[in-house]
Amino acid sequence: MADVRLSLDGQTLRVYPGIFMREALAAVGSGAWSKRNGCWEFPAGAVLDVIRALRRESANILAQEPVHALAKRAAENDRWLAGVKAEWQERVRCKMAGVPKDQWPDTLPPHPFLMYHQRMGAEIADRFNSFALLADTGTGKTLMALEIIKRKAGANRFMIITPKTLIKSAWLDDQRDWYPEIKLLPLSRNMSKHDYADISARWGVSGGVDDLCDWADAYIINPESFKRDISGLPTVQGLILDESTLVRNKSDTTTEITKYADKLAYRYIMTGKPNVNGLMNYFGQMRVVDAAVLGRSFFAFRARYFETHDRFGYVWTPKPGADEAIARRVATLSIDVRKEECLDLPERTFSIRHVELPPKVMTQYKQLEREMVVELGNTTLTAPMQLTLMGKLRQFTGGHVITDDGPVPVHTAKMAVLQEVLDEIGDRQVLIWAQYKHEIATIAAHLRGNGATVVTANSETRDIDADIAAFKSGEAQYMVAHPASLKFGVTFIKCTDAVYYSKDFDYENWYQSCDRIYRKGQENECTYVSLVVPGTIDEDIEHAVGRKGTAASAVELLIGRATGR
């Protein structure tokens, strides 16, 4: 029986002389051999994985007291978490079976206004310094995070990284309404002097932004500003990464956030769809939480769970069993909450309204699709590459195509059907989704020409926060928006109708856009209408988005099984 010594150095667990247990320790997946120190090194969070691997090899484990304490605490937390997840599973079963709410199990401490799943997240954060709160959009993740900040405030200051559109419309609104005692300071270039003066007055602090920084319990910033605007801030102890899919891919932003998180005592991520574009999306997000889950190295993670038969290594597919294996690992430091499990929301209705193009226009479309070239009046439109062709076809069905000389009108059939749908809806608010700047501008101009109040949300919108506020308050009847501009967290529960003038192939854009009106607080049935030209790329997009949803949900189901759901 080999003697193996374990020691703890900060957040690094060292295993000596681990070289004799190379295969067993390599199988843990989150460690690496340190030639300089002559040992295996792991994140501290992998302590139970390491001990289990060594016991399977019948090693005689000699551990320092800090390692014993860490392992004991980790084992206790794992048992507690298993109990909480089992109770959550039973509550979901009761809900689906129609059991009266007063008979549902509830052993968590009560709270004046938080729902069970929000209390569950806050209680988990009391025990775990890092965790993934995987809850559907519209389930109240912001309130959950504010409760976590409140409980840790005083000795700890947090950095919140979130999409720019959520700073005012979600975080600052919820903080003002539910947690006024938290001093939440936005570090956004969209904030005016008047906004900061208002914060100074509420806090009772004189001076500028630098003075407010010293008093803040938490800062909130968007990812773009994070990379350039955080130098000189007071020390931060915790991170909340809202909509963690921001770090799902390798990028400079992902690298900066990961390096920053590694230095902090507390790390929590939140999102509803962590794997929207595949299993590889999990790595960057769980790396922020704890490298013990999927390892420190993306390339080691990829080699462990994926394989490629492409000689250039561009296309990687999951190895057999990879989805279950990744789901089990992610489940060790995550909860998975679906909207239907925790909210009593009304029904949703999805429908397709067909748009018939004039015969001549449809002939032009088919010619462009087949030959990649078509004559449109005095303009010759060409699409020399497949990707270019797809874009031109999408523009075509919307009623225009973009050329070097600007947009060329093709038809008004889809605009006419849009107006028919809006007439049927009547005086209610409507959220209209479109993909192209010209579409958004044309729709807005058309509606304003009919005397309607219209706001927009896309890259051309001068003050997106003001337009969001106008639509939320009911001041504007219509909002015409690109899904990416309102991708995360924006809430429009006074609105019950959404119309898709056009879509793209991005499932996440579609999923997130649906949830802008279907969220906690929505009391009325929601209706979604997609305008589709039969026999065109519009139909291809409808089918593709549907298939993507099925694929993305599969791994979430596996995580649910691993967490006991």
What pLDDT is recorded for position 501? Answer: 97
Is 0.85 topped by the overall pTM?
no
pLDDT along the chain (565 residues), means of 10: 87 83 88 91 95 90 91 96 97 95 96 96 97 91 96 93 84 92 88 86 85 92 83 90 87 89 96 84 95 94 91 86 95 94 89 91 87 67 68 90 85 94 93 95 95 93 90 95 85 94 88 90 92 91 74 53 52
Distances (CA, A) of 425 to 55, 141, 236: 66, 31, 49
What pLDDT is recorded for position 310? Answer: 79
Structure-derived torsion over alpha carbons of residues 411, 443, 169, 229, reported in degrees to the nearest 10: 70
For residue 5, what are the β-bridge partners? 16, 62
What pLDDT is recorded for position 562? Answer: 54
What pLDDT is recorded for position 269? Answer: 97
Distances (CA, A) of 547 to 352, 435, 500: 17, 20, 18
Q: Does residue 17 have a cis bond before it (omega within 30 degrees)?
A: yes
The whole-angstrom separation of Cα 402 and Cα 26 is 54
What pLDDT is recorded for position 392? Answer: 86
What pLDDT is recorded for position 171? Answer: 92
What pLDDT is recorded for position 277? Answer: 74
The whole-angstrom separation of Cα 181 and Cα 187 is 19
- For the four alpha carbons of 391, 397, 398 and 404, in that order, the dihedral sign comes to positive
What pLDDT is recorded for position 550? Answer: 46
Q: Is 469 exposed, middle or buried (0-12, 13-18, 19+ CB in 10 A)?
A: middle
